[in-house]
Amino acid sequence: MAGTSKSESTSAGRAPAQGSDAIELLLQDHEEVKAMFEKYEALSDRSIASKRRLALEICLALTKHTVIEEEIFYPAVREANRQNEDIVDEAIVEHASAKDLIAQIIGMEPTEDLYDAKIKVLSEQIEHHVGEEENEMFPKARNGKLDLESLGQEMMARKAEVQLPQTQ
């Protein structure tokens, strides 16, 4: 990639999203979504409006995240080493299952049966998935010949475009 300017590094505090490499960006997303699920757990059963708002925020964050992984990060990891095939395939299947739950949640009201259960199962599936990415896939990606800075920039730009999927 020609003419990539060196980003100023900040050593303290949270890294600004602008200067993040692809993996830092994904790790940041993982943390944010985990915090949102925890916030949802803490809501009272009567906070219907807050539940709906937060559930949609979670669905949007996960949609943006899965899109940038599937369109940009996973193909790069797959291409970097043929031995990464299986782990990327598995991640895509896990995403499909998350997308299915996300579509169901978007189409529901928090007062409906199984709404909380769907959020809970989604959070458990994501926790498992994130564990595999962070412990298996990301270390492989770090050791590969990937240009994580430019992938990160590409992912940031794409992330800004992605919206919630349309249901019905």
Question: Could you list the residues that contact Fe ion (CB under 5 A)?
Answer: 26, 69, 133
Instruction: Using the minimum distance from each CB to Fe ion, give the nearer residue, 72 or 119.
Output: 72
Distances (CA, A) of 27 to 2, 112, 155: 26, 32, 13
Instruction: Using the minimum distance from each CB to Fe ion, give the nearer residue, 23 or 119.
Output: 23
> Measured from the CB of residue 130, what is the shortest distance to Fe ion in angstroms?
6
Distance CA 85, CA 149 (A): 22
Instruction: Using the minimum distance from each CB to Fe ion, give the nearer residue, 67 or 119.
Output: 67
Instruction: Using the minimum distance from each CB to Fe ion, give the nearer residue, 116 or 132.
Output: 132
> Measured from the CB of residue 112, what is the shortest distance to Fe ion in angstroms?
27
> Measured from the CB of residue 26, what is the shortest distance to Fe ion in angstroms?
5
Of 154, 159, 152, nearest to 23 by C-alpha is 152
> Measured from the CB of residue 25, what is the shortest distance to Fe ion in angstroms?
10
Distance CA 31, CA 24 (A): 11
Q: Please name the amino acid found at residue 141.
A: A
